[in-house]
Chain A
Amino acid sequence: MGKYAADREALAALVRPAEVHRDVYVDDEVFALEMRHLFANTWCYVGHESEVPASGDFATTEIGARPVIMVRGEDGTIRVLHNRCPHKGTRLVTERSGNAGRHFRCPYHAWTFRTDGCVYAIPLRRGYDGTGLEERAAARGIARAGAVHCYRGFVFARLAETGIGFDEYFGESLSSLDNMVDRSPAGRLEVAGPPLRYLHRCNWKMVVENQTDACHPMVAHESSAGTAVRLWEGMQKPEGTGKPMAMEVIAPFVSRYEFFEEMGIRVWPNGHGHTGVHHSIHSDYSAIPGYFEGMAKAWGEERARAILGENRHNTVYFPNIMVKGPIQLLRRFQPLAADRTLVESFVFRLVGAPDMLLERTVMYNRLINAPTSIVGHDDLEIYERMQAGLASDALDWVNLERLLDREEEHDATEIVNGTSERQMRNQFAAWKRFITMTMQ
């Protein structure tokens, strides 16, 4: 046993008020403990109900390192099952999505399970007569997540049998999901097409931290957004030519420091938080014809204005997703190893809204989140250089001190300067709490 698995205090000591030890990013044992404890004790995003509209529909993903199946049962309930045959461990389905019909059937020995996970049939069952199989975990069928909650179409699971409840875990942070869904005149979202899948050779937490890092865009993205602004301004074009959609998307990345300072960050308990309290890089997009009229009809004019006046930038739901309400995008930062992360970027259609909103969302996704995106190249270069730099033990501590308030509490809801590293500290406070809570 290594130095952390046997010593909860040593693990907790990796997080200080203003710094974290580099082992949180590079150490394999810390990573294994994250997978075992952190991703079991927290509520993790599994998928969206529109991915499994019909009985027997399933979608596969991982919670931490554990493969799971989200499946809609014959009773219409969405469940989250471990993607592992209780007999010998075979992965039951490998497709990213599909329909299981009424049963999952293991391809090895044909043990068959209902979509709620219960055993339906075991071939040649008399071979277990008198063996006591009914007392084993295997007889209880496919293992289930400890708790599942569907919030306005978004399915979350907590793998641990017991622990914090959904409402207490997310609290007021759910207002960001609310705003994203309320932007549909029908009050409903649908996943639109496949996600981008982008491999990062860095620790997953670096990518999560960057979602609320408002001091990097004007530096790291000078090469992409800065060049875009320079090219556009130098271009011969007729007087009064409006910015094309792509420029509206990319140009705000190189806004001035003041813009990001003033946009504000709001932190919530349990590691959640968002940038863009007062305004954000999404505030100045052109109006799309017919959209406001549809929203006003559905919600009333005043309420529609309130919904669309909220332009939150990135909302981090601890531990590993980020949503962008104003452009209906969700990114999941899937840990694969201490130095490997899969970033999936999903887009959603606002049911009942004009197609042009989805067109802008889709454009944002490919311009910013694709493995072929120049903004993505800027960011990934930095993450991979951090991972390489932290492999050296020249210095052990990583600094997260910008705008530190020595009195700050991490179970608070508060609004702070947009360039503060407060949300990163908030995440690490939650990290320490949820990873150690089930360690001996």
Chain B
Amino acid sequence: MTPPSRDDLAEFVYREASLLDEGRYDEWLGLFAPHGRYWMPLEPGQTDPLLVTSLLYEDLFMLRLRVERLKGARTFSQKPASRGHHLLQQPRVERFDPDEGRFATATAFHYVETRLDEQELYAGWARHDLEVVDGALRIALKRVDLVNCDAAFGNIQLFP
């Protein structure tokens, strides 16, 4: 395949957010590399996902579990379901290494999650570490740093 362009990287990030906002979670899972992870640190600037608590640090199995749970007949916290909305700034390319097939982008975002009459706004930065797997871009790590990651939150049920 021809290596991805910088625009392709940005398109990938936009598409990822669209799949989430449209609730197309199975397709969204397909964007992850087999060893992909989704990380939401608890501390600003956190470097250790294993020995320091995070809000979320999950492999594909656990992400699939989240997606399956959202569909469950007895998933009471999703009756009615939540909806999410991402507003993204243009992704900045932080790594562009076609020879290694490795890329990274940083994207500032506002994310809204809503259920019933409640709506919460979260702001932060998403970093996507991307790799080429079988000729396609895939997420090795999506790291979401909320600007107030150390604040007390109510339920965050979907994927910022």
Contacts and interface: CB of A to CB of B under 8 A. Distances in A.
A binds B: yes
Given A231-B61, A377-B155, A366 B43 contact: no
Interface stretch (B11-19, B73-81, B87-95, B125-133): B73-81
B76 A372 contact: no
A51 to B, nearest CB: 15
B65 A194 contact: no
Contacts of B55: 196, 366, 370-372
A355 interface: yes
Contact of B69 (A201, A227, A232, A355): A227
Interface in B12-54: 40, 42-43, 50-54
Most buried by A among B51, B151, B155: B155
Contacts of A150: none
Interface stretch (A40-48, A152-160, A163-171, A378-386): A378-386
Contacts of A377: 77, 155, 157
Given A223-B76, A224-B69, A231-B65, A362 B157 contact: no
Given A342-B152, A366-B55, A372-B56, A222 B50 contact: no
Nearest to B154: A199
A198 interface: yes
A86 B38 CA distance: 48
Contact of B40 (A220, A230, A372, A378): A372
A126 B14 CA distance: 67
Nearest to B58: A246
Contacts of A370: 53-56
Nearest to A223: B75
Contacts, number: 109
B96 interface: no
A358 interface: yes
A359 B51 contact: yes
A167 B74 CA distance: 45
B150 interface: yes
A33 interface: no
A220 B150 CA distance: 28
A355 B51 contact: yes
A198 B152 CA distance: 5
A320 to B, nearest CB: 16
A405 B56 CA distance: 43
A231 B70 CA distance: 13
Given A196-B42, A223-B69, A246-B61, A362 B155 contact: no
Contact of A197 (B40, B54, B153, B155): B153
Nearest to B72: A223
Contacts of A374: 65-66, 69
A228 interface: yes
B153 A198 contact: yes
A381 B76 contact: yes
Contacts of B51: 192-193, 355, 358-359, 362
Dominant SS among interface residues on chain A: helix
A242 interface: no
Contacts of A342: 152
B42 A371 contact: no
Interface residues of A, number: 44
Nearest to A244: B61
A281 interface: no
A380 B40 contact: no
A247 B52 CA distance: 20
Interface string A355-375: 100110010011100111010
B74 A222 contact: yes
Given A231-B64, A244-B61, A381-B77, A366 B53 contact: yes
B86 to A, nearest CB: 16
B65 A227 contact: yes
B154 A382 contact: no
B155 A376 contact: yes
A296 B155 CA distance: 42
Contacts of A230: 68
A245 B62 CA distance: 11
Contacts of A232: 61
B57 to A, nearest CB: 6
A220 B76 contact: yes
Contacts of A199: 152-154
A96 B151 CA distance: 12
Contact of A372 (B43, B50, B156): B156
A226 B65 CA distance: 10
A365 B57 CA distance: 11
Contacts of B152: 197-199, 342, 371
10 contacts: A193-B43, A193-B51, A196-B53, A198-B154, A223-B74, A223-B76, A246-B62, A366-B56, A372-B40, A381-B77
Given A197-B150, A197-B153, A378-B76, 4 more contacts: A193-B51, A194-B52, A223-B75, A345-B53
